[in-house]
Amino acid sequence: MRQVTDFCSMPKLSFSEKNVKRIADRIKQLRIDKGYTSYENFAYENDLSRVQYWRMEKGVNFTIHYFLRILEIHKMSLKEFFSEGFDN
């Protein structure tokens, strides 16, 4: 039997968890903005591990090195990446 989750009772994300989620969401949006509907196609066409890239979009266990590689693929600086959605 599947249990329904009450979102009001879910624990709130910490400051660092919120930022990881924002980074993951931004990475996903960059892919979508480039016209890729599938993370797998994006990873394959950019010679990235599909599993590792999926982790980046989910905000799970990723490295700075891999993050910088993704920014390089998008021809984007750290400043450009963090210029949207990271006001707080």
Predicted TM-score (pTM) of the model is 0.78
Give pLDDT, residue 88.
56
**Does residue 10 belong to any structural domain of this protein?**
no
**Does residue 54 belong to any structural domain of this protein?**
yes
**Does residue 36 belong to any structural domain of this protein?**
yes
**Does residue 88 belong to any structural domain of this protein?**
no
**Does residue 26 belong to any structural domain of this protein?**
yes
**Does residue 61 belong to any structural domain of this protein?**
yes
Number of domains observed in the structure of the chain: 1
Q: How far apart are alpha carbons 70 and 51 in whole angstroms?
A: 14
**Residue type at 59?**
G
**Residue type at 27?**
I
Residue 44's domain is classified under what CATH number? 1.10.260.40
Sign of the CA dihedral with 10 first, then 16, 20, and 23 last? positive
pLDDT in tens, 66-75: 999 999 999 9
Is pLDDT above 90 for 11? no
Domain that holds residue 70: 16-81
CA distances from 80 to 4, 26, 67 (A): 39, 11, 14
Q: Are 25 and 13 in contact (CB under 8 A)?
A: no
Is pLDDT above 50 for 86? yes
With H, G, I as helix, E, B as strand and everything else as coil, classify residue 2. Answer: coil
